[in-house]
Structure 1
Amino acid sequence: MAFHDTTNSRPPVVDLLYPTEDHRRAALKRKAALEELPTGYVNDLMLEALADQLTPHYQYKMVSLFAEMSDDLEVIKYRQDILEDLINIPAVSTTLRKIINLMLTNDKSNLYKLSVPDCFTQLDAAVTAFEAYIKCMDMMHEVYVKNIDKVKSAGIKKLFDFFEGNYSNKHYVKLKKEAEQLREAMTGKIRSATIAVNFDENLVPVAAGLVGVSEESWNDAPSVFDRIMSFGAKHEHTVMRPLHERFREDGQSPLSVVDKALFENLDFITKKYVKAVEDVLDEYQAIGFKDMYAVEYQLDFYMGAVNMIENAEAKGLTMSRPKILPADERRAVMKGLFDPIYFREANAWNLTHSDKRAVVTNDVVFDSDAGFYILTGANNGGKTTFVRAVGICQVMAQAGLYVPAAECELSVVDCIYTHFPKEEQKGIDASRFTMEVKEFKDISDRITNHSLLLMNESIQSTTPRECVDIAAQLIRIFCIMGVRGVFATHLNELAYKARELRGEPDVRTKPESFVVSVNPETGERLYKVVKGLPTESSFAASVFAKYGLDIPALEKKANKMFG
């Protein structure tokens, strides 16, 4: 699956993702190379759902940024600094996006469609659109003046510099002056018009023409004709409707027809208005605001991240700015780690259910003492959620975002490889077994000592004995290669075999055993991951009880049947 977002190939006028054009080109080159590698992690880690938490409007672009897996420490820091500014200066984060959104909406809905006006309604719409742009620029200038001393990131400074440069730009100064003059001319010249109407013998209007205009409003007392028309207004369908229909053009209201006719008859005045609109539009286009469109999704990227952080904090969880380590350090520390996907699901569940779901945090360290974990434990104990949390933490860190952990430092990885068999593919199946072997060959051909490997219930399509032997050999090879990873499995014996590998001289990543903890008396899932070896019990009774299967009652029933 390719996630090369070619729309990013053209640099925006202000780039909030890359500090320089060289960094952008390098990222595009890296992204193209990554597309040649397996991208199963995008689906397995549910990155589309993660992107939706940032913004539902640019999901594809968000996934593309995740799939970039930036290993450029300067790019990551550039983004982290921007996000930190938006977190620490609420006045900027709450106002900046709103102003730019208003400007872009005004540009798309009004200024982009603007043409030479042929009626007063269009003329007023044009001037109103220019005034809206001016108001936004004034608001942006005010935000700049009040907050620029607090801004630390190079990216936000560049964004403000762009707007401040335009604010003092000769084109904007001229645009503002001409728009003000245009509005003044429109509001100060004509207040009323005298129109002559010719009728036939049945008092049906047959012709009309402009007689004169005035700067004064017309306030004479109602005439007989006014009273007739007033009566007609009360009986619109019987008197006024035929008249309306007579003067209606296709797709236009009667008012627009009169508006255009009046505009045309006043050409000795309106020609100046049209010329003024054209002049103002020329100045607007000279500013080059259209190049700001790329900033829209970039701001959504950051504002979505701010919202994620605030939502987590509201539920007692902490997201943090990770310390990014060079790839060669090959280590990671994640404390207070949680899965954002499960976090959202739990929140949705808790809104409508009395049995609340808690989000449990965990700690994990990948270093020289333990870098590849075999995760075992009871079913429905949180193994998949933990594996996904590790992967998402790595993805978000390399995207330049805060991570779902209270504390975090990690080395960048060159790629994340995942192996998550689908539900319908589980069980003993010769063809599925062959496919699994081929998938692992593809991974082993490409994976390096700077990669992260996440496996979830892999190697399960043959007999249990063969599954353990094959999985043990795979782990041995990956540990010799120096790969970091987590393997969530129901193969308890594998944890013991992995422990035996720790003493082998060729192993560059030491394996370790993790278990998801369970209350030993009740079998209640605690969702805490701890170092240790698995127990023999699968806590079947607690699983049966959860789904309403009463084993003691069934035993009594059986005894009664055979009396």
Structure 2
Amino acid sequence: MKAHLLFTDADFVLIDHPDENQHDRFADLELGVLVRAMAADDAFLAETATAALHQPLTDADQIRHRQQALTDALANPDAIRALYALPVQALAEAKRIYSWGLSSPSGMVHHGSQLMEVYIRYLRSLRLLADENAPAFRSPAFTTLFQMLQSELTDEYFEEIDEHLAQLRFRHGVLSSAHLGEANKPTRITLRRPSGRRIPLLQRLGFTHPAHTMTIPDRDEAGFSALHELQDRGVDLVANALIQSTDHIKSFLTMLQRELAFYLGAINLHDALTAQGEPTTIPTLTDTAGFAADELYDIALVLIGGRPAVGNTIDATATPLVVITGANRGGKSTFLRSLGQAQLLTQCGLFAPATALSTGVRTGIFTHFKREEDKQLVSGKLDEELGRMSRIVDAVTPGAMVLFNESFASTNEREGSEISRHVVHAFRDRAVTVAFVTHLFDFAHRLREENREDTLFLRAHRAEDGGRDFTLTEGEPLSTSFGWDVYQRVFGDEKDPRPAERMSLTAFEEP
């Protein structure tokens, strides 16, 4: 039995050791905040959510498979919680069964029978839940699961299992047949099914015996040892088959718990966002290299701050390069995180933080955000930035997305602009979607002078009085980031000194 709730033809596998690019993306997009909301203090949910966010899909059909299942899950949260609880309880109860005597076939039969009794009890409950909830689900993932449960966990199946378990209790002893081999040693020992005839009361009490009976004296330890050996050889095949059966059921329940945990985590995150009054949407997948979003917002900011988010409406469908400039603390980095979160959640088969989103499927999602100074003084900031950039270049493929947040600003403007320009041109030539937040005016200005139709320039909005509404609008790069506004907020009202004129410089121009 297979659940196949996350993939149409495969099981969900955890990542043991995420690579450095995955770690960077997780930190830059503040995905830990999302995981905590999805987990709701459940370590298993947290582990599942983390693994899923580390593994965005690159196949549009698999993404749609999850989107359809997610739609069902959000419409039937109580059913998902009830389904999830069953494997959790079954595996927890099975774990409490003492595994003594597993070194012998007889002990394996006893332990396996106890496990099977537990599993069968919960499989019955699972079948009942499937019968009750199947009409409310429409997605291929859940309808296939329910049909499988209904077709395989039939009443006849449970009756047969109950019959086998009753026989494996061996209440009237073990019935085996054997042949005499060389030196009268028993060979071809085979466990036999009891005849079903009722054993007389006196015989059950030990007062009479059937013909050809040998009784072992009470103190004959060697005789009892030989008898147990014969019994173990008789039940050996049954013991192995029983343990394999319980392992199969355990594997199914474990995978069912894991895959339901993904959708339960999505429900928890959805509940947390709707409680804040924030919208979500199932994204539309396109064949374009760009994206279009209505009221796109940063999930982490909402969950941490507990306040309504300011969304951005951006149409970058035909522009795989987006350059974001403008006022300090104007919402540029927040928008970049929201874009990264939306793209990643989309490719995990989840909803996006917006009222509408259409985007293409990327072959990879990478982030290159600014970092604090290395406290261990192992390397300088530029050296560290270039090292991370090198890792991304090694991993990136055509069709990927790379998000830059104030990259290469650790050196002077001329050098930082030149590095940024070469990196962006290289990615654009390789059909890589790029969103770049920058304060490097020369870099942004030179891109603007190219006057290419596949580049969109956004600017953080600043009101006349210096206020920010944290929205982005289309606009040319400015030579100032209005840092004086921030200075006034921190140190009080001061007259704005006349801003120095800035020159457009490149590595090949003299000042």
| TM-score, normalisation: structure 2 | 0.69
Asked if residue 464 in structure 1 is aligned to residue 418 in structure 2, the reply is no
For this pair of structures, how many residues does the alignment match? 413
Q: Structure 1 unaligned segments of length 5 or more: list them.
A: 1-11, 117-125, 186-278, 348-356, 504-508, 556-563
Asked if residue 44 in structure 1 is aligned to residue 28 in structure 2, the reply is yes
Q: Tell me, yes or no, if the aligned pair for 2:21 and 2:391 is still in contact at 8 Å.
A: no
Q: Which residue of 2 aligns with 1:17?
A: 6
Distance in 1, matches of 2:471 and 2:461, equals 5
Distance in 1, matches of 2:139 and 2:394, equals 40
Using the aligned pairs only, state the percent identity. 24
Aligned-CA RMSD value: 4.1
1:336 equivalent among 295, 320, 327: 295
Q: Structure 1 residues 58, 311: CA separation in 2 closer, same or farther (over 3 Å shift)?
A: closer
Instruction: Describe how 1:264-343 pairs up with structure 2 within 5 A.
Output: 286=245, 288-292=248-252, 293-326=254-287, 329-343=288-302
Distance in 2, matches of 1:73 and 1:444, equals 24
Q: Structure 1 residues 36, 387: CA separation in 2 closer, same or farther (over 3 Å shift)?
A: closer
Q: Which residue of 2 aligns with 1:71?
A: 58
Asked if residue 511 in structure 1 is aligned to residue 497 in structure 2, the reply is no
Instruction: Describe how 1:65-214 pairs up with structure 2 within 5 A.
Output: 65-110=52-97, 113=99, 136-165=122-151, 167-168=153-154, 170=156, 172-174=158-160
Distance in 1, matches of 2:278 and 2:20, equals 37
Deviations 1:278-315 (A, max 9, x none): x9999897464211212212111111111212222222
Q: Secondary structure at the match of 2:36?
A: helix
Q: Which residue of 1 aligns with 2:178?
A: none
Deviations 1:28-77 (A, max 9, x none): 9xx99x96977632332233443333224354443333232311122212
Displacement of 1:413: 0.8
Which amino acid in 2 is paired with 1:489? T
Instruction: Describe how 1:365-380 pairs up with structure 2 within 5 A.
Output: 365-368=315-318, 370-380=319-329
Asked if residue 543 in structure 1 is aligned to residue 486 in structure 2, the reply is yes
Asked if residue 54 in structure 1 is aligned to residue 38 in structure 2, the reply is yes
Distance in 2, matches of 1:554 and 1:416, equals 41
Instruction: Describe how 1:424-435 pairs up with structure 2 within 5 A.
Output: 424=373, 431-435=380-384
Asked if residue 410 in structure 1 is aligned to residue 370 in structure 2, the reply is no
Deviations 1:394-413 (A, max 9, x none): 11111111122211121111
Asked if residue 361 in structure 1 is aligned to residue 311 in structure 2, the reply is yes
Q: Secondary structure at the match of 1:365?
A: strand
Q: Tell me, yes or no, if the aligned pair for 2:370 and 2:405 is still in contact at 8 Å.
A: yes
Which amino acid in 2 is paired with 1:140? L
Q: Structure 1 residues 13, 434: CA separation in 2 closer, same or farther (over 3 Å shift)?
A: same
Q: Structure 1 residues 331, 513: CA separation in 2 closer, same or farther (over 3 Å shift)?
A: closer
Q: Which residue of 2 aligns with 1:489?
A: 438
Q: Structure 2 unaligned segments of length 5 or more: list them.
A: 103-111, 172-237, 498-511
Q: Tell me, yes or no, if the aligned pair for 1:106 and 1:133 is still in contact at 8 Å.
A: no
Q: Structure 1 residues 526, 176: CA separation in 2 closer, same or farther (over 3 Å shift)?
A: farther
Distance in 1, matches of 2:77 and 2:410, equals 53
Q: Secondary structure at the match of 1:375?
A: strand
2:473 equivalent among 530, 538, 541: 530
Q: Structure 1 residues 71, 345: CA separation in 2 closer, same or farther (over 3 Å shift)?
A: same
The structure with the largest helix share of the pair is 1
Q: Structure 1 residues 343, 88: CA separation in 2 closer, same or farther (over 3 Å shift)?
A: same
Which amino acid in 1 is paired with 2:53? F
Distance in 1, matches of 2:141 and 2:163, equals 31
Displacement of 1:159: 2.8
Q: Which residue of 2 aligns with 1:266?
A: none
Displacement of 1:177: 7.4
Which amino acid in 2 is paired with 1:366? A
Distance in 2, matches of 1:179 and 1:358, equals 58
Displacement of 1:113: 4.8
Distance in 2, matches of 1:285 and 1:437, equals 52
Distance in 2, matches of 1:284 and 1:175, equals 14
Q: Secondary structure at the match of 2:7?
A: coil
Distance in 2, matches of 1:535 and 1:148, equals 58
Which amino acid in 1 is paired with 2:370? P
Q: Structure 1 residues 402, 113: CA separation in 2 closer, same or farther (over 3 Å shift)?
A: farther
Q: Which residue of 2 aligns with 1:275?
A: none
Distance in 2, matches of 1:525 and 1:46, equals 23
Q: Tell me, yes or no, if the aligned pair for 1:374 and 1:494 is still in contact at 8 Å.
A: no
Farther-moved stretch of structure 1 (379-388 vs 536-545):
536-545
Q: Secondary structure at the match of 2:96?
A: helix
Q: Secondary structure at the match of 1:424?
A: coil
Deviations 1:357-402 (A, max 9, x none): 431111233332x221221222222222211111111111111111
Q: Which residue of 1 aligns with 2:230?
A: none
Displacement of 1:107: 2.3
1:346 equivalent among 302, 305, 308: 305
Q: Tell me, yes or no, if the aligned pair for 2:276 and 2:308 is still in contact at 8 Å.
A: no
Q: Structure 1 residues 165, 400: CA separation in 2 closer, same or farther (over 3 Å shift)?
A: same
Distance in 1, matches of 2:155 and 2:243, equals 11
If asked which structure has higher relative contact order (CA below 8 Å, sep 6+), I would say 2
Q: Structure 1 residues 113, 160: CA separation in 2 closer, same or farther (over 3 Å shift)?
A: farther
Q: Tell me, yes or no, if the aligned pair for 1:80 and 1:401 is still in contact at 8 Å.
A: yes
Distance in 2, matches of 1:135 and 1:63, equals 32
Which amino acid in 1 is paired with 2:249? F
Q: Structure 1 residues 161, 16: CA separation in 2 closer, same or farther (over 3 Å shift)?
A: same
Q: Structure 1 residues 463, 280: CA separation in 2 closer, same or farther (over 3 Å shift)?
A: closer
Q: Tell me, yes or no, if the aligned pair for 1:13 and 1:291 is still in contact at 8 Å.
A: no
